[in-house]
Amino acid sequence: MKIRRATPDDADAIAGLYVQLKEHHLELAPGMPRYDQPDEDWLEKANTGLRDESVRFYLAERMGTVGFVKLFFEEKSWGLVCEVETLVIDEQARARGIGTALMRHAEQVARDEGAIAMRVNVLRHNSDGRRFYERDGYRPIAVRYGKTL
């Protein structure tokens, strides 16, 4: 498996994985506005992220794109933090170590950039996602609240 930084040519592959994520999250939390969008909108989301200098996508490839991690960095009063905004593995390629490999890569990128911590948000209903991160040493540090307006 190869992990590399995404380029604008990867927008279609990223959008396809976003659609899988959307479907998964709509099953977990029906009606959530973030994911209740037409499939075509995810291509624009991918293109926007690929143009944003503060965002980084890294792709995992094994006979095509099988996953991605999307990172951004944020300066906090206590230091630079790397946030995993999105981690998606193709549903046909899950449970094969791809997510772990992408997270290892993300953590190395964060260290290389001088980040002192990693953060990730996981839907409350996503017990598989929470188990994945907790197995990897991530611990709950806050409760995030939201309200649809």
Proportion of the chain above pLDDT 70, given as a percent: 90
Q: CATH: 3.30.70.260, 3.30.2130.10, 3.90.1720.10, 3.40.630.30. Which one for 2-135? A: 3.40.630.30
pLDDT for residue 87 is more than 80: yes
Of residues 110 and 65, the one with the higher pLDDT is 110
Q: What pairs with residue 83 in β-bridges?
A: 72, 119
User: Which candidate, 94, 112, 100, 88, places its Cα nearest to that of 138?
Assistant: 100
**Tokens representing residue 1 in the block:** 């498996």
Per-residue pLDDT, averaged over 50-75, amounts to 89
Read off the pTM: 0.85
Q: DSSP label at 70? A: E
Locate the domains of the chain by residue range. Answer: 2-135
- pLDDT band at 84; cut points 50, 70, 90: very high
Q: What angle do CA 57, 59, 36 make, to 5 degrees?
A: 65
Q: What pairs with residue 74 in β-bridges?
A: 81
